[in-house]
Amino acid sequence: MNNSNLRKRVIWFINSEIERVLMNLKNGAVNKEHALGSFNTLYQIASSLKDADSMVNLSEIIEKVRDSHHRSGLFYFTEKRTEFFY
């Protein structure tokens, strides 16, 4: 596998992981801290590739997630939901 093919695959992986983490955050499967950790890991991968577009995209996403008031994950939400019924 040549270097450009590997680079394309890694960039595809970064973009697919961004979508997956954002969807999990939206659904409540992960909390804010776990999402930020995943985005920081993806940022490190993008920086090792020296892919400026992915790094800018990830830094904007990290900033938006940090500024958001989203705190709860799936398990926290489930526990809160059951308290209201009992």
Q: Global pTM?
A: 0.78
pLDDT at 69: 75
pLDDT for 32-71, tens place per residue? 999 999 999 999 999 999 999 999 999 999 999 998 876 6
pLDDT of the residue at 70: 62
- pLDDT averaged over every residue in the chain: 84
- Euclidean distance between CA atoms 69 and 8, whole angstroms: 34
What's the number of domains the chain is made of? 1
Whole domain around residue 16: which residue ranges? 3-85
DSSP for 9-73, please give it. Answer: HHHHHHHHHHHHHHHHHHHTSS-HHHHHHHHHHHHHHHHHHT-HHHHHHHHHHHHHHHHS-----
pLDDT of residue 82: 45
Report the percentage of the chain scoring pLDDT > 70.
79
